[in-house]
Amino acid sequence: MLRSTFLPFFISSPFPPAQAFALRAYLPRPPPVCKYSSSAQSPPPPPPTSAYVHLPFCRKRCHYCDFPIIALGSSTPHRPDTDPRISNYVQLLLREIAATRAWSDDCSPLETVFFGGGTPSLVPPGFVSSILDALKSRFGMCDSPEVSIEMDPGTFDKEKMERLLELGVNRVSLGVQAFQEELLRACGRAHGLKDVYEAIEIVTDCSELQNWSMDLISSLPHQSQEMWEESLRCAISARPTHVSVYDLQVEQGTKFGHLYTPGEFPLPTEMQSADFYRTASRMLSGAGYSHYEISSYCKDRYECKHNLTYWLNRSFYGFGLGSASYINGVRFSRPRRLKEYEEWVQKLEDGLVVLHEDISVDTKDMAMDVVMLSLRTAKGLDLRGFAKCFGKSLARSLCQALRQYVESGHVVVMDDDRNMLSYPEFELKMSEDNDEMGNGVASIRLSDPDGFLLSNELISIAFGIISP
């Protein structure tokens, strides 16, 4: 499960009516058990090589957050290494890992591990080490895995940072969110601007750490275009290898959900939010960052390998409160309440929970997953591979349904060498009288930034073709 404080903009199928503009970091939040059945048989997916671990502890709940967390408070009588809430949860997590069988006897070792939350940097390094040891013992670990951890300013010092690096952490995701004191306070963040700059100094002073990301949020209450540009400039000057830019989603049940209505002051209008997104694309691209996924930018070769697992629709393990896994065509999420999660782990140990088994997978659901995830990326949808899995006729129908957006420039068509085809070239190739995809029509992607801004609408059209 990819940790985000924002609602995924793809929730279920068929695709719900929604705003055309949507920029949410995405991992599907499946129902507790989501099994597909169909007479169509698909080749089994490759075994998981990634694991997400949820560490739900926070000092306080931010005003926009609806994630399953455990708020420790700022005046707790316990130090983190002696807090029974942390130690008890980690023991529960270790029990879950031990009770989870590998996908098969000849599984590949883990290549990525992602500690998300919550605020994982509140967890003492010794507990992180225990979890990594448990994962390695149960599933194996490749020689050079990507091990990421989310860290918030004000929750770690140089000593803790160095200790985590010694344990094998080699990628940090720093939750800055904004470079304005008033916006941090308005969001209910536990850190201030002083903490932000201290955290950046700690991270950049660690010569062993070459790979780190910074998170920013746009469309916050009272956030102006000038504030957003300042945050982007400050992020660029810090020189992270990766930047994630998320657009605020107001969730029911959160403090923001009680206070604000989307699109109404002090929240920005939809057009203002779109301008924020265009500004991020322009400034980060101009600073040498590649916009490789709808909310993700990176320097050359610094894509988040773990998150690519999600965008490429690959299998992954999930562990911990509310976390999701995707194994053998089954999306499965654990309970979001601690007591229910404790009961679930006990049932897992007793053999009463089956996480993955041989099942048939609904072809339409698979096709929608592929389209939905592929069009989030700069690489786009491989039409050749899609046609091979789901039929040339369906691939051709998708292209025909999106043709007006090819003409408008929101959808980009590429040939086998990834050269962009003009609209007349596309029309000519698609008019050929055969059942092939069209000679030279190899892939489609959404343009940056305007195609990404219409992602909901365009994928909704695709869903209507796949499952009318």
| Domain definitions of the chain by residue range | 44-311, 363-466
User: How far, in Å, CA of 205 to CA of 208, rounded?
Assistant: 9
Average pLDDT over residues 377-400: 94
Find the helix packing angle between 392-401 and 383-390, rounded to 10°: 130
Query: Where does the pLDDT of residue 78 fall: very low under 50, low under 70, confident under 90, or very high at 90 and above?
Result: low
Report whether pLDDT(25) > 70. no
Q: Which among 213, 322, 235 is positioned nearest to 284, based on CA atoms?
A: 235
Determine the average pLDDT of the residues in 14-41: 32
pLDDT score at 76: 57
Q: Does domain 44-311 have CATH number 3.40.50.410?
A: no
Mean pLDDT of the chain: 88
Confidence band for 328, pLDDT divided at 50, 70 and 90 = confident
Residue 20 pLDDT grade (very low, low, confident, very high; cuts 50, 70, 90) = very low
- Please give the average per-residue pLDDT across 447-460, as a whole number: 96
Structure-token match 């010569």, residue found: 207
Query: What pLDDT is stored for residue 44 in this prediction?
Result: 62
Whether the bond between 266 and the residue before it is cis, its omega within 30 degrees of 0, is yes
Instruction: Please give the residue that has the higher pLDDT: either 219 or 75.
Output: 219
Query: Is pLDDT at 9 greater than 70 in this prediction?
Result: no
For 412-425, what is the mean pLDDT? 94
* Banded pLDDT at 269 (limits 50, 70, 90): very high
CA 350-331-391 angle, to 5 degrees, is 140
pTM above 0.85, yes or no: yes
Q: How far apart are CA 370 and CA 197, in angstroms?
A: 40
- Residue 210 has what pLDDT? 96
pLDDT, average across residues 156-181: 98
**Mean pLDDT score, 274-281:** 98
pLDDT at 236 over 50: yes
DSSP collapsed to 3 states, 288-299? CCEEEECCEEEC
- pLDDT above 70 (res 66): yes
> What is the reported pLDDT for 255?
95
Number of Cβ within 10 Å of residue 342's Cβ equals 16
Calculate what percentage of the chain has a pLDDT beyond 90.
78
- Per-residue pLDDT at 359 exceeds 90: no
Contact 164, 158 (CB under 8 A): no
pLDDT for the residue numbered 329: 79
Instruction: State the average pLDDT over residues 294-321.
Output: 96
As a whole number, mean pLDDT of residues 6-29 equals: 30
Residues 120, 149 contacting (CB under 8 angstroms): yes
Specify the pLDDT at position 358: 56
Average pLDDT for 40-58: 82
Q: What is the mean pLDDT of residues 275-297?
A: 98
